[in-house]
Chains A and B, each alone.
Chain A
Amino acid sequence: MNVREIEASAIADAVEKLVIDANYYLPEDVKDALKKMREEEESDLCRQILGDILKNADIARERQQPICQDTGLAVFFVELGQDVHIVGGDFRTAMDEGVARGYTKGYLRKSSQDHVLGERVNRGDNTPAIIHTDLVPGDKLTITVCPKGGGSENMSALGMLTPSQGRDGVKKFIVDTVSRAGSNPCPPIIVGCAAGGTTEEVMLLAKKALCRKVGEPNPDPEVAQMEREILEEINKLGIGAQGFGGTKTALAVHMLTHPVHLASLPVGVNIQCHVARHRTIVL
């Protein structure tokens, strides 16, 4: 078995470019979903808003500037091949260096603050990266960035339901969370959600679900059916683009499930605004 070496500096360079590109270029799948929604929406005002949102993505691309001023905290999902050996520095430092350089050189907003319990001070470089790492077979390093803005993240929710609340309880919790959020998370939204596992696992899965291509169903037909039902319920809420009232509120519902303790039914919801940024690089 061969161990493949990856230089820490190559990771920092890749991350620098990744965070800039993710913030400038709205993924095509998101644009396609927005276009489809604009065709189907019944409210004139919301159709106009959706048109402006699409125009915004084009302006950001052409002018090489952030799609949204909230360029988020830099959240990463990393798959580290177990045959990779990182040399010339450590992984954490390389990731943070890439974030700091990317957010500075790309004229991205630095939103990360210190002293969470007192007088807040902006760290000035948007570090630290928030990194979720899976150790996987192989000799590749796959890095996905999902910059997450505060407005939509603030609308997240964790529910510790009881098993007797079952499928209907899960659905109600998710739809109620979206209903309460209303106009706050900048609809149209993508709803990342998960059921099962433990408190921390279910919240992580809810966010991970957002990395999927927009509207691609969960491969498990039972979960995919649930996604369709929740999407339908959410669109019945009438929130509409920006909360101005319309027939379309969510671009998609992405759900993941996990085996669960016999006493528990955790549900996690992570709402993503229409600026659904995600970008991957494989080293």
Chain B
Amino acid sequence: MTDKVIHLPLTDEMIQDLHAGDRVLLNGIIYTGRDEAHLYLCRMLDKGEELPIEIRGAVIYYVGPCPAKPGQAIGSAGPTTSGRMDAYAPRLMDIGLKGMIGKGLRKPAVVESMKKNICVYFASIGGAGALLSESIKEAEVVAFPELGAEAIYRLRVENFPCTVVIDCYGKDLYKEGRAKYEVK
């Protein structure tokens, strides 16, 4: 199984070429954002304010990293459970979000929005924060610094390992993988 090397930003054509179960290595810029950051972004949209990051074409990584030690770009930085962002994700996809990185199940409304907006959901390994931090070369807080670990960081990643779990066709590795090995 060879990993697909991806250079961000994602285009529709690139996303259409990704399928549930593909192992990929991401290169380029991604943004962090989890519970509070999503709440703040959606509040800004409610008020008609301009968002602090360019959502069009963006990939958001659901993560709240550890503080960086001196000499590190970032501390351990593995994914958090994506389902908690389900309430916000379709709204961001409607305005151009193209990729999400996290772990765990998504609601049907999220999958429908992914199909409609041509978007992809990757999983990185939950609980492998030290390993994943090695692929993060730069990290800079770009919004909501008051949120600490929950602030939005701009990350530059090199060969950041992920697996496509839900593709833009709605195919779901969590469902298909489990069905393959389930003993009834």
List the A residue with the shortest CB-CB distance to B150: A122
Among A63, A65, A239, the most chain B Cβ lie within 10 Å of the Cβ of: A65
Does any Cβ of A come within 8 Å of B28's Cβ? Answer: no
**A245, B178: Cβ atoms under 8 Å?**
yes
Partner pick for A243 among B80, B134, B174, CB 8 A cutoff: B174
**A108, B126: Cβ atoms under 8 Å?**
no
**A56, B127: Cβ atoms under 8 Å?**
yes
Does any Cβ of A come within 8 Å of B148's Cβ? Answer: yes
Partner pick for A182 among B75, B105, B183, CB 8 A cutoff: B105
Instruction: Give Cα A246 to B163, complex, Å.
Output: 15
Q: Least Cβ distance of A117 to chain B in Å?
A: 15
What count of chain A residues pass the 8 Å CB interface test?
Answer: 51
**B130, A67: Cβ atoms under 8 Å?**
yes
Query: Cβ of B145: which chain A residues have Cβ within 8 Å of it?
Result: none
Partner pick for A242 among B1, B103, B133, CB 8 A cutoff: B103
**B105, A183: Cβ atoms under 8 Å?**
yes
Query: Cβ of A247: which chain B residues have Cβ within 8 Å of it?
Result: 181
Instruction: Give Cα A44 to B180, complex, Å.
Output: 13
**B66, A108: Cβ atoms under 8 Å?**
yes
**A109, B181: Cβ atoms under 8 Å?**
no
List the B residue with the shortest CB-CB distance to A120: B36
Does any Cβ of B come within 8 Å of A60's Cβ? Answer: yes
Does any Cβ of A come within 8 Å of B131's Cβ? Answer: yes
- Chain B interface size range: 35 or more
CB contacts under 8 Å to B, within A70-119, are: 70-71, 107-111
**A68, B177: Cβ atoms under 8 Å?**
no
Does any Cβ of B come within 8 Å of A130's Cβ? Answer: no
Q: Which of A1-9, A47-55, A191-199, A209-217 contacts B (4 or more CB under 8 A)?
A: A47-55
Partner pick for B1 among A45, A60, A274, CB 8 A cutoff: A45
Instruction: Give Cα A71 to B77, complex, Å.
Output: 11
Does any Cβ of B come within 8 Å of A143's Cβ? Answer: no
Contact residues of A with B, CB < 8 Å? 42-45, 48-49, 52-53, 55-57, 59-60, 63-71, 107-111, 120, 122, 124, 150-151, 154, 182-184, 186, 236-240, 242-247, 273-275
Known: A48-B1, A65-B75. 15 other contacts (CB 8 A): A45-B163, A65-B69, A70-B78, A107-B66, A107-B67, A107-B68, A109-B65, A120-B36, A182-B105, A182-B178, A186-B127, A238-B177, A243-B104, A245-B177, A275-B127
